[in-house]
Each structure stands twice: as structure tokens, then as C-alpha cells.
């Protein structure tokens, strides 16, 4: 019973070509998060939505944008991917306390 679903699981894009990653949840949680995780590092928070309120981390590049059209869905848009953006992108949700993570999308930039 998947609770936080991410599609696709693997995404290959070309340098500079916009890409969108998607996340959906069946938990009806009001908070959704996007993290970037590079090899052998902890997840790094990019931004989160508290209901419809968007909150950007101070060091998140402008190249990263997000949309949350409804409670269940959240998208991560990378406008012009660079080689340094190759990473695992994790979506998470929470109501209070514990965050539930999706399986992640592995992004490769060629």
C-alpha cells in the first residue's frame, strides 16, 4: 500500500532541458517536502508546502521550482538542469512529527 508515490523512479534528461518530477500521497497530510540527496550524503531540504503555503530554503537555487495543485500532488520542476543537479530527489509528507518518504526519483543529467 504505497503512501508516498514518486514518478518516474528514474529520469534521464539532457543538460539544460527542463524536467518535472512528480509526487503523490494517499495520507492526506498537509505538509509536503522535496529533498535532494547526493551520494553518501544526508537528504537536503529544498522547499516545503504547508497546505498551500510555499516555503523555500534560503540556499535552494532559483533553478528549482515547485507546484502543489492540490493536497495529494506536488511537483518539482528543474528549469535548466546542470550536471551538478544529478541526484536522488525525495518527496516526503507529514502532519505532525514523523515524515514519510517516497522511494525517490534518480535523476541523471547527460
CA distance 39 to 80: 21
Considering the complex, state which of residue 15 and residue 50 has its C-beta at the smaller distance from another protein.
50
Least distance to another protein, CB of residue 6, Å: 8
Note the residues at the interface with another protein (CB under 8 A): 4, 6, 31, 40-45, 48, 50, 55, 90, 92, 94, 96-104, 106
CA-CA distance, 73 to 34, in Å (whole number)? 12
- Between the two ends of the chain, the Cα-to-Cα distance in Å is 34
Q: Which is nearer to another protein, 3 or 15 (CB)?
A: 3
Amino acid at each position: 500500500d504505497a503512501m508516498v508515490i514518486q514518478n518516474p523512479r528514474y529520469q534521464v534528461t539532457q543538460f539544460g532541458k527542463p524536467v518535472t518530477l512528480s509526487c503523490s500521497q494517499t495520507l492526506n497530510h498537509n505538509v509536503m517536502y522535496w529533498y535532494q540527496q547526493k551520494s553518501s550524503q544526508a537528504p537536503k531540504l529544498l522547499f516545503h508546502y504547508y497546505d498551500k503555503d510555499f516555503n523555500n530554503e534560503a540556499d535552494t537555487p532559483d533553478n528549482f521550482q515547485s507546484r502543489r495543485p492540490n493536497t495529494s500532488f506536488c511537483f518539482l520542476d528543474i528549469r535548466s538542469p546542470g550536471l551538478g543537479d544529478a541526484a536522488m530527489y525525495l518527496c516526503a509528507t507529514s502532519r505532525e512529527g514523523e515524515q514519510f518518504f517516497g522511494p525517490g526519483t534518480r535523476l541523471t543529467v547527460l
